[in-house]
Amino acid sequence: MADEKLKVAIIGCGRMGQHYTDVYNTFENTEVVAIAEYNDDRRNVVGERFGVTALFKDAETMYQQMDEVPDLAVVVLPGKFIKNAVIASAQAGVRGVSTDKPIGATLSDVDEMIAACEERDVVFHGGNLQRSRADVQEAASWLRNGDYGEVQGATVHGWGGEISGGGCQHIAVLRLLTNAEITEVIAWGKPQESLEANEDSGLIINGRFKMSTGIETTVYGEPTPHRGVDVWTEDSLLRWDWGDVMDIYQGFDDNGARVKSDREFTPFAWPKYGYLASSILSFISAVENGTEMAVSGYDLLRSLEAAIAAKHSALWGSVPLSLPLEDRSMTLYPRPYRWLGGDHSGRYQTPEEARAYELFAKG
């Protein structure tokens, strides 16, 4: 059975990379066989912790020195370093390459990653987004099946603070639940110093998205009573609000108020690992069976593009901008922790922390 496992290389083994390694080593059909990590001390510690002896400084060195190309390359690097590792992995001949949010800062860089994977028929996975949550995916399937009727509108709540980094979650869920693409963005933003900066820290965006299905999405930068995405039909409302499970309302009571549905979601088999597990499972299935992923590199590109369009629409006087954007050199950086990583932005992980660091409770 061990010979049938997908061999996995983790490229970048900081905090999030360690989470990925934990999950891949938990599944019966995957095995982490190599780790590439630039920090010498951490590389040795996490190798010992996970029982991996094939340890390398970076992706390029790994592919030069490994006798066998891994099946899956899992890139869990800060945004600045993702592009080179993704393209090197595709060129090395992996079957699938995974990345995470935010995928980059410049549209053309992400275009190059997607093209490199498409040219070599490499599955390009998008990583750890709430779009991949089992309940969100199931709710989207109910909407596509027409269980609640035709989608008539949507809203985004709390799209501010970092519209590229964390904010990519909103756009990914919005596109999934509406089963539509954003075709036009018009936005208003504050504060002015954040609008004029080259990163998204502290940026609050209000606006409107036109969708390919003809509906319009109102965007609220600051939290309303909610902070996620609402989608509604004639008599139903489905709400992703960063909670443990989506809320669904169907029908109205005698006073005209919405009635919460008692429809239950299918229990997820790996609750301990949450949507990281559901995302990885969809990636594995796409590689092995050709199925559709819960989140892809293309989804991360669309989130970045919406953020760039919104920022520049607001900066340029709330001008409507059509998507896809023609100027692929347009750029929006995430905050330093996401772009440079914790080691270079005040959240250095010591070897001692790496030895004991865990996100998921055991038991």
Contact 157, 224 (CB under 8 A): yes
Task: Tell me if residue 95 falls in helix, strand or coil.
Answer: coil
* pTM, two decimal places: 0.95
Q: Which helix (H) or strand (E) holds 292?
A: none
When pLDDT is cut at 50, 70 and 90, the band that residue 1 belongs to is very low
Task: Tell me if residue 26 falls in helix, strand or coil.
Answer: helix
Q: What is the pLDDT of residue 357?
A: 76
When pLDDT is cut at 50, 70 and 90, the band that residue 4 belongs to is confident
Sheet bearing 247-252, strands edge to edge: 258-260, 247-252, 236-240, 229-232, 153-157, 216-220, 204-211, 182-190, 321-322
Q: What is the pLDDT of residue 363?
A: 30
Please determine, for residue 302, whether its predicted confidence score (pLDDT) is greater than 80. yes
Q: What is the pLDDT of residue 2?
A: 44
**Overall average pLDDT of the 287-299 stretch:** 97
Q: What is the pLDDT of residue 351?
A: 86
**Overall average pLDDT of the 273-287 stretch:** 96
- How does the average pLDDT of the chain come out, rounded? 95
Q: How far apart are alpha carbons 255 and 273 in whole angstroms?
A: 41
Q: What is the pLDDT of residue 3?
A: 57
When pLDDT is cut at 50, 70 and 90, the band that residue 360 belongs to is low
Please determine, for residue 249, whether its predicted confidence score (pLDDT) is greater than 90. yes
Mark 352-361 as b/e (b = at least 16 C-beta within 10 Å): eebeebeeee
Q: What is the pLDDT of residue 358?
A: 67
Kindly calculate the radius of gyration of the chain based on its CA atoms and give it in whole angstroms. Answer: 21
β-pairing, 72-75 vs 30-36, is unpaired
Residue whose token pair is 């390359």: 73
Q: What is the pLDDT of residue 362?
A: 38
Contact 54, 33 (CB under 8 A): yes
In Å, how far are 56, 105, 129, 240, 262 from 201, measured between CA atoms? Answer: 33, 13, 20, 23, 39
User: Per residue in 38-56, pLDDT tens?
Assistant: 999 999 999 999 999 999 9
Q: Quick one: tokens of 75? A: 């890139």
β-pairing, 153-157 vs 229-232, is antiparallel
Task: Tell me if residue 167 falls in helix, strand or coil.
Answer: coil
**Overall average pLDDT of the 253-280 stretch:** 95
Contact 332, 205 (CB under 8 A): no
When pLDDT is cut at 50, 70 and 90, the band that residue 359 belongs to is low
Task: Tell me if residue 214 falls in helix, strand or coil.
Answer: coil
User: Per residue in 65-113, pLDDT tens?
Assistant: 999 999 999 999 999 999 999 999 999 999 999 999 999 999 999 999 9
Please determine, for residue 130, whether its predicted confidence score (pLDDT) is greater than 50. yes
**Overall average pLDDT of the 290-297 stretch:** 97
Please determine, for residue 250, whether its predicted confidence score (pLDDT) is greater than 90. yes
Q: Quick one: tokens of 319? A: 């001008």
**Overall average pLDDT of the 339-359 stretch:** 86
